[in-house]
Amino acid sequence: MRTRWLPVLALAVLAPVCAEYLWGYDDSTGHPATLLGNLVVFTPLYGAPALLIREVVRRRGLGWPSIVLLAAAFGVVQAGVVDQSVWARTYRGIPYWSDMADPTYLAPIGLSVFLAVSFVANHVLASMCGPIALVEGLAGRDRWLGRPVVVVLALLYVAASVLVFVDMLDTVGHPIGSPAQVAGAAVAAVALVLAALVPRRSPVFGPGRVPSPWLLLVASGVVFGAAMLAPPSPLGTTALVLAYAGAAAVITRLAHRADFSRAHVTALAAGWLIALAVGSWATVPIGTVTTAERVGHHVVLIALVALTGVLGVARSRVALPR
């Protein structure tokens, strides 16, 4: 089949923007030329796996649970194997990193529970599922990639991951994670991939109707925005896990109603991405970034996510295939 280049390019760019740029944590914040230049690495690192994940799932006739599991596998690999940030108690000179890591740090396994939950969840929601849902809302959920492009994307992702790993070694001077920690992350990722590829029964539709997509957009934004306020303490981490688990349970219940559509999926994704974009105003970027640069950065990206989400919901009139 021929590649559908418009949605491919849209997801290839939107995934790294949501994964990296919405947060506004780096000294590239508010510098358009640097942000565009960084896409040379970030597009293969985030856009390529996002495209591959949705293509595998759509070709195999699987659904959103499989996308979520594959996205979680990506998050585990990224944070536990590639940049190894999940094992770090200090990282890239970010002044508040230890404040996030230390309160829930488990010395026997060398892991901050808060960072592990936050990083994997954010990769699932912001790096993979959110951008996939928004672009599918605009372009549909059929196959987008020709076979040669699949191979190229896989090679680009591996190359970008190697570059990030090497950069981590150059910055720190040694691997952050121990061989046992990295192996554990790899095993967890493989388990998630295997679980994602298991065929599932067709859902049995339950009673009741799904609320309006616009109502779900607002509710999603409120829930995710509240979750962003959870402090990196044991109690805050517990609240974060309960919030994500509760939201997943509610969404699963709604997805088993007959009128659940692609518009609802797009609305949920738009809600949490808009909340992330708004909440990231509180992030203090590293390096020298002026107030005007921060404001311009956040205003542009909030507008981008909100416009893409609203257009995606408006175009998604077809019932979501199961």
Average pLDDT, the chain: 92
**What's the Rg (C-alpha) of the chain?**
19
Q: Which residues pair with 261 in a beta bridge?
A: 319
Question: 18 is written with which tokens?
Answer: 């949501």
Mean pLDDT along residues 207-229: 92
Q: Is the pLDDT of residue 204 over 70?
A: no
CA 86 to chain centre: 15
Please tell me the predicted confidence (pLDDT) of residue 203. 67
Q: Is the pLDDT of residue 129 over 90?
A: yes
Long-range contacts of 231-238 (CB under 8 A, 24+ apart): 232/99, 232/100, 232/101, 232/103, 232/104, 232/112, 232/114, 232/115, 232/118, 233/103, 233/104, 233/114, 234/103, 234/104, 234/113, 236/114, 237/104, 237/113, 237/114, 237/117
Task: Report pLDDT digits (tens) over 272-315.
Answer: 999 999 998 888 888 888 999 999 999 999 999 999 999 999 98
CA distance 103 to 97: 11
Report residue 322's pLDDT band, with 50, 70 and 90 as the boundaries.
very low
Mean pLDDT along residues 232-261: 93
Q: Is the pLDDT of residue 319 over 50?
A: no
Task: Report pLDDT digits (tens) over 42-60.
Answer: 999 999 999 999 999 999 9
DSSP notation for 102-153: GGGEETTTTEEHHHHHHHHHHIIIIIIIHHHHHHHHHH-SS----HHHHHHH
Could you tell me which residue, 21 or 92, shows the higher pLDDT? Answer: 21
Report residue 177's pLDDT band, with 50, 70 and 90 as the boundaries.
very high
Q: Which residues pair with 319 in a beta bridge?
A: 261
pTM, entire model: 0.93
Please tell me the predicted confidence (pLDDT) of residue 286. 84
Alpha helices in the chain (DSSP H): 5-16, 32-42, 48-59, 64-77, 97-101, 113-122, 130-139, 147-172, 179-196, 213-227, 234-255, 262-279, 291-315
Q: Is the pLDDT of residue 258 over 90?
A: no
Could you tell me which residue, 26 or 11, shows the higher pLDDT? Answer: 11
**Phi/psi-derived region of residue 56, left when phi > 0, alpha when psi is between -120 and 50, beta in every other case:** alpha
Q: Is the pLDDT of residue 213 over 90?
A: yes
CA 302 to chain centre: 16
Report residue 318's pLDDT band, with 50, 70 and 90 as the boundaries.
low
Mean pLDDT along residues 197-216: 83
The answer to whether the beta carbons of residues 123 and 18 sit under 8 Å apart is no
Please tell me the predicted confidence (pLDDT) of residue 317. 63
CA distance 314 to 110: 46
Report residue 171's pLDDT band, with 50, 70 and 90 as the boundaries.
confident
Question: 282 is written with which tokens?
Answer: 């509180």
The identity of residue 40, as a single letter, is V
SS3 call for 97: helix
Could you tell me which residue, 207 or 133, shows the higher pLDDT? Answer: 133
Mean pLDDT along residues 166-189: 92
Percent of the chain with pLDDT over 70: 97
Mean pLDDT along residues 94-102: 88
Please tell me the predicted confidence (pLDDT) of residue 135. 96
